[in-house]
Amino acid sequence: MSGSGGRIIALAGGVGGAKLADGLAQRLGEYLTVVVNTGDDFEHLGMHVSPDLDTVMYTLAGLANPSQGWGLEGESWVFMDQLSRLGGPDWFKLGDRDLATHAIRTSRLRGGATLSDVTEDLCGVLGIRSRILPMSDDSVRTMIQSDGKILGFQEYFVRLRCEVPVTSICFEGADRAKLNPRITKLHASERPAAVVICPSNPYLSIDPIMAVPGAREWLASLRVPVVAVSPIVAGSAIKGPAAKVMGELGIQVSASAIARHYRGVVSGLVIDVSDAALSNEIESMGLPVRVAQTVMSSAADRLALADECLEFARGLAGRALEDSGR
């Protein structure tokens, strides 16, 4: 499965997802396709910004800012300085080099290109061998309901720093969106060997992908192991607001809750070594568990987790799908 053993599809959102996608990309090169959440996309200063696509793209190109996780390493901020001086909206930081990506994307989209076309061309120029596909070429916007107010995702995430409570989450436009046709075409020529759901926020990054009509059916129709990595480790999120959001939605913050969330979609769950004690509880839900080090602090950690996922999926490949609760 790794290298010569077949095509792998990864589903990913932003920073946490991009790290595992990077480990998989190092192992699999062109045999990896990453399907990316675009629910975080928004129009800002007249530009179309696709934060998760860019985070995955920059990470796989080896260009990401390692401390932020998003944006480019060695970025300069002359544009932001001037924007602030002019009284412009400076809550969302657009680096000088990063701006070029948004400008090219916006102008190509206005000229009639699809988000998939632009992403493919940018990835080509950046020398990325794996394929990166937006979940849809249509507009889907993750919206946060907080105490009666509806907030756009970046307004919630960046401007308000996730400080307001989440009452509910919806994916505006998802019901009218079409799953990216390049995704459904993927297995027409060659059936993938497995799907890996990266440790992205299940509620804010993976659910928008699943909300696109046909996404769940497409996953099930592949009839291959679908392995998810829990982003919750020892009752906390490795990064981002997953734990806070789960608490606010009345969901227990644990890897077991992630197992319940993904039940019916995945055929196995990778949990962190610190959660090994939850294995029996999760397996009693009919979901096989792999215990691994899921916190990725180094490049070697990304590769090691990628290998764990691929080996786990290989082991599940022979199992009857009904046995694993799908």
Q: Contact between 98 and ligand FO1 (CB under 6 A)? A: yes
- Residue 268 lies near ligand FO1 (rule: CB under 6 A): no
Residue pair 24/15 in contact by the 8 Å Cβ criterion: no
Q: SS3 helix, strand, coil % of the chain, rounded to 5?
A: 45, 20, 35
Output the smallest distance, CB 91 to ligand FO1, in A: 7
Between CA 283 and CA 251 the distance in angstroms is: 19
| Residue 154 binds ligand FO1 (CB under 6 A) | yes
Q: How far is the CA of 188 from the CAs of 10, 109, 134, 163, 217, in angstroms?
A: 17, 27, 18, 44, 15
Which residue, 59 or 256, is less far from ligand FO1 as judged by CB? 59
Least distance CB 92 / ligand FO1 (angstroms): 5
Among 6, 23, 71, 231, interactor with ligand FO1 by CB under 6 A = 71
267 binds ligand FO1 (CB under 6 A): no
Position among 22, 40, 137, 207 found at the interface with ligand FO1 (CB under 6 A):
40
User: Please, where are the H alpha helices in the chain?
Assistant: 15-28, 51-60, 78-85, 96-110, 115-125, 153-154, 181-184, 186-189, 207-211, 215-222, 242-248, 255-262, 279-283, 299-316
DSSP 133: E
Q: Nearer to ligand FO1 by C-beta: 153 or 262?
A: 153
**Is the Cβ of residue 79 or residue 92 nearer to ligand FO1 in the bound state?**
92
Residue closer to ligand FO1, measured from CB, 57 or 305:
57
Determine the interface stretch with ligand FO1 among 9-17, 260-268, 305-313, 317-325 (rule: CB under 6 A): 9-17
Q: Judge whether 44 and 21 are in contact, CB under 8 Å.
A: no
Of the pair 98, 275, the CB lying nearest ligand FO1 is at: 98
* Binding residues vs ligand FO1 (CB under 6 A): 13-15, 40, 49, 51-52, 54, 70-71, 92-94, 98, 154, 157-158
